[in-house]
Chain A
């Protein structure tokens, strides 16, 4: 079946530190891959996506590259801010299906 595995949190960083949140997946075919973010008190929002191998999704300084050979979609940001504190979810949409399969989420806490 389809599954997404994320690194467990919380991840605690100082402002301006480099961020990596690991995500690996299991799926047949060529799924689309997503990172969603949930800020405190808000609903899930799409952060970035990639729909085919070697695509790089980017938004708000965050990046992730679709690596089919390692079945990974790691999230990175060069310099985090306090406002990036949130829960980050990696997700996939299998080929030919609409439903998203989510990882368990990684809480990021950025300290000033």
Chain B
């Protein structure tokens, strides 16, 4: 088990372009989360999946953002018409289905997006 894997690790895009990030969770982890982290701040929750169902979305997730987890395994996060304010580190995390709110989330190393 190699942990949570994210691809790409870095992405530079021009303003207005669309970008898509991929996250492969730890196998058999039913829960998958996306967070966004800007410089000097802690991660901010974006959205959460349990298997293929998207159960929670933050108000931070504007209409330009969409996330999918079609087969309950890997997930994609797409940002349409990128803006400079979207520049951040996008983190994916996963956790097993068992356990309550104290269950540990395992984080990937993130995808750093720079919008120029």
Q: Which residues in A have some Cβ–Cβ distance to B below 8 Å?
A: 4, 31-32, 34, 36, 42-46, 49-51, 89, 91, 93-105
Q: Contact: B31 with A102, CB < 8 Å?
A: no
Q: Contact: A96 with B104, CB < 8 Å?
A: no
Q: Contact: B105 with A100, CB < 8 Å?
A: yes
Number of interface residues of B (CB under 8 A): 28
Q: Contact: B105 with A102, CB < 8 Å?
A: no
In the complex, how many angstroms separate the beta carbon of B108 from the nearest chain A beta carbon? 6
Chain A, residue nearest B3 (CB): A43
In the complex, how many angstroms separate the beta carbon of B63 from the nearest chain A beta carbon? 20
Which chain A residues border B43 with CB–CB below 8 Å? Answer: 44, 89, 100, 102
A-B contact pairs, 16 of them (CB 8 A): A4-B42, A31-B101, A34-B104, A44-B91, A44-B107, A46-B105, A46-B106, A51-B100, A93-B102, A98-B48, A98-B95, A99-B33, A99-B48, A100-B33, A100-B45, A105-B41
Chain B, residue nearest A102 (CB): B42
Q: Which residues in B have some Cβ–Cβ distance to A below 8 Å?
A: 3-4, 31, 33, 35, 40-45, 48, 55-56, 58, 91, 93, 95, 100-102, 104-110
In the complex, how many angstroms separate the beta carbon of B44 from the nearest chain A beta carbon? 7
Q: What's the Cα separation between A106 and B116 when bound, in Å?
A: 29
Which chain B residues border A104 with CB–CB below 8 Å? Answer: 40-42
A101-B45 contact in complex given A42-B109, A43-B110, C-beta closer than 8 Å: yes
Q: Which of B44, B101, B110 touches A97 (beta carbons < 8 Å)?
A: B101
Q: Contact: B4 with A93, CB < 8 Å?
A: no
Which chain B residues border A4 with CB–CB below 8 Å? Answer: 42
In the complex, how many angstroms separate the beta carbon of A42 from the nearest chain B beta carbon? 7
In the complex, how many angstroms separate the beta carbon of A60 from the nearest chain B beta carbon? 15
In the complex, how many angstroms separate the beta carbon of B98 from the nearest chain A beta carbon? 13
Chain A, residue nearest B109 (CB): A43
Chain A, residue nearest B110 (CB): A43
Q: What's the Cα separation between A86 and B33 when bound, in Å?
A: 23
